[in-house]
Amino acid sequence: MYTQCPECLTIYKIAASALAQSHGSVRCGHCNAVFDALRTLTELLPNEQVQQLEPNVGGGSPPQLAVPALRPTLGQQTLMFDPDERPLRTRRSSTPAFARARRARATTRNWPWTVAASGLLLCLLAQIGYAERGPLLDDTRVRPVFDRICETVGCHLPLRHDPAKLQLLSRDIRPHPSVQNALIISATLRNAADFAQAFPAVEISLSDLDENRIAMRRFLPQEYLGDTHAAGGLAPGATAALVFEVADPGKNAVAFEFKFL
C-alpha cells in the first residue's frame, strides 16, 4: 500500500503493521510532518507524473465486511475461504476426472489383449498336452475322463500301456531248426491289468557267465506279431505266445533276459 505526505508530497510505501501501530498516524521522513496516512492510502503505485494522491472520501457509515478469512473458535482456528477461490468438491469419487477417464479408456482398450492372452494360453496348454499325450493317456486318474469324452464325441483312443502290469510266465531259447547260426527265443506273456493293453516293445539281451552283455536287440510289436495282431492289444488277464528269431552270438552267451518297454 502507498500513502502521501500532505506537506512535501513525498509518496511512501507503507505496511499494514505500521498503520496499525499508531492507528494511521505516521511521521514524514523528509519534512518530519505528522499526518494521517489513511487519508491518501491506496493499493496501486501511481505513475511517476502524479503530483498528489487523491484523498479517500469518508462516508457516513463504516463499510461492512462480507467475506471472513478466519474465525477463531475454542482455541482452534477455522480457515474460511473465499467462495470464488474455494476448490470444488464432489462426494461421488475422490479420483480426479482425468484419472477416471484414463482408467475407463484403459479398461475399454484392454479386452482385446485379454482375449489374445487367453487364446495363447489355451494354445500353450494344448501343445503341452499333445507333447505329453502318452503319459496322460496311460495315467489311471486321467484316462477314464478321456474315455468318457471319446464315448460322447465318438473318437478313438490308443490302448493304454503299463509294462509293470505285464507278467512273463515262461521263456525258452533253442537253436533255430532251419537257419544256421540263429536262435529262436519264445516266451509267454500275461496281462495282469484290469484293462486292455498295447503289446510292449521287448528288449532281449544275452550275456556270458560273468553277466557281461554280449548282444542286445529290441523288438517292436509289429516285428514279433505282425500289424494285425499288434493292433488288437492284449485283453485283461489274457496271455500271448511270443517268438523271436535272433542271430547266435556264440557259445559264450549262456543267459538271456527279457525287458518290457
Q: Tell me: the pLDDT tens digits for 175-226?
A: 998 888 899 999 999 999 888 888 999 999 999 888 898 899 999 988 888 7
pTM above 0.75, yes or no: no
Percent of the chain with pLDDT over 70: 75
Give the integer Cα–Cα distance in Å for 102 and 110.
12
Give me the pLDDT at residue 69, please.
66
The answer, yes or no, to whether residue 125 has pLDDT greater than 60, is yes
**Residues forming beta bridges with residue 167, ordered by sequence position:** 190
Percent of the chain with pLDDT over 90: 15
Stretch 148-154: mean pLDDT: 78
Considering only residues 78 and 233, tell me which one the structure prediction assigns the higher pLDDT. Answer: 233
Residues 44 and 37 sit within 8 Å (Cβ to Cβ): no
Give me the pLDDT at residue 71, please.
66
Residues 13 and 29 sit within 8 Å (Cβ to Cβ): no
Round the average pLDDT of the chain to a whole number and report it: 79
Give the integer Cα–Cα distance in Å for 120 and 113.
10
